[in-house]
Amino acid sequence: MSKTYNIAVIGGDGTGPEVAREAIKVLEAAAVKHNFKLALTDHDFGGERYLSTGEILPDSASDEMRKYDAILLGAIGHPDVKPGILEKGILLRLRFELDQYINLRPVKLFPGVDTPIKDKGPEEIDYVVVRENTGGLYTGIGGFTMKGTEQEVASQSMVYTHHQVARCLKYAFDYTRRRKKNNTLGLVGKTNVLTYAYDLWERVFNDMGAKDYPEIQRDYYHVDACCMWMVKNPEWFDVLVTGNMFGDIITDLGAMTQGGMGIAAGGNINPNGVSMFEPIGGSAPKYTGQNVINPLAAICAGAMMLDTLGEEAAAKDIETAVADITANKIKSLAAGRMGYSTTEVGDLIASHF
């Protein structure tokens, strides 16, 4: 009997549902070929639901999500809702409550895709960022005193426990071993200024590496220099690992070097629980309903989901299909300039199966 995966789908806001729909189309085609089944359940979390009910995320949401094998997310962010409410109340809350402590973000330039970096191609831009996803500055520890006065003090702390750092680094080392590219893991930090938080990262990195992963080469980059090398010498990188805030920032830079938000996908991963996969780009409200947005990032997020579920061959097939489309069909990754509609891009990829 073929295996059935129970997937929660959160289309979300703006163009989120449109790109999620194309990802599902492709996943369904991959399932037929690779002999597994998908049982999909839609969830209406997002701005519209909040505006009509006043509820951001039901308290039962995380328990409900825990019943699934994985979650596919379109996008969160609504123009009529103050920035931060939905992002914190839905996206970050799910990441935290489901303990998705890894944010896995491949920076991969597909063939035929324009990169703003001169003289670099798919050979040079192909690495993965492992971003710690539940700690650091995102923990929300801090506060105001004397708010609104000239004496106001605002603080927000970068807090890391040994446990959080160690589990993230372990994942990154294991991932580097599995990836089998250059066997190189680079820690991205700021040990010259953040002499507590990144000192902890560096010590655990070196101890764990020397003891358990002697075959993996360890590199270290300050985050500012890393940004420089991501533009100048991206071919140096295999896997990079870093804390939450730095990871957030450098992965937007990475996304631009791989052709932009239309293609950048990520996975919020709990290696022992339920993971959630999403295109990194936002909800692009101005394109909502026009069938012009690029669904490739969502489709790649779907491939990452299959890979994590253990359907590696199906995931590879999707990647191959995406590479064929970027190399031979699609004119640009930009919304409205692809030469195809959102639906047609989904059809093209699905027709590979």
Q: Say if CB 332 and CB 339 are below 8 A apart.
A: yes
Residue 248 among the catalytic residues: yes
Q: How far apart (Å, rounded) are the C-alpha atoms in residues 42 and 45?
A: 9
Cβ-based nearer residue to Mg ion, 209 or 266: 266
Q: Does the footprint of ligand IPM cover residue 265 (CB under 6 A)?
A: no
> What does the angle CA 196 – CA 202 – CA 208 come to, to the nearest 5 degrees?
135
Q: Is the dihedral of CA 196, 245, 276, 256 positive or negative?
A: negative
Q: Say if CB 76 and CB 86 are below 8 A apart.
A: yes
Residue 190 among the catalytic residues: yes
Amino acid at 217: Q
Minimum distance, C-beta of residue 92 to ligand IPM, in the bound complex (Å): 5
Minimum distance, C-beta of residue 175 to Mg ion, in the bound complex (Å): 20
Residue 252 among the catalytic residues: yes
Q: Out of 190, 221, 238, 307, which one is annotated catalytic?
A: 190
Residue at shortest CB range from ligand IPM: 87
Q: Pick one of 28, 48, 87, 235: the residue that binds ligand IPM (CB under 6 A).
A: 87
Amino acid at 115: T
String marking each residue 282-321 x if it binds ligand IPM according to CB under 6 A: ----------------------------------------
Minimum distance, C-beta of residue 111 to ligand IPM, in the bound complex (Å): 26
Q: What is the DSSP string of 47-116?
A: HHHHHHHS-SS-TTHHHHHTTSSEEEEEE---TTS-TTHHIIIIIIHHHHHTT--EEEEEEE--TT---S
Rg (CA), the chain: 20
Q: Pick one of 28, 48, 97, 248: the residue that binds ligand IPM (CB under 6 A).
A: 248
Q: Out of 138, 171, 175, 221, which one is annotated catalytic?
A: 138
Minimum distance, C-beta of residue 252 to Mg ion, in the bound complex (Å): 6
Binding site for ligand IPM (CB under 6 A): 87, 91-92, 248
The residues annotated with a catalytic role in the active site are 138, 190, 224, 248, 252
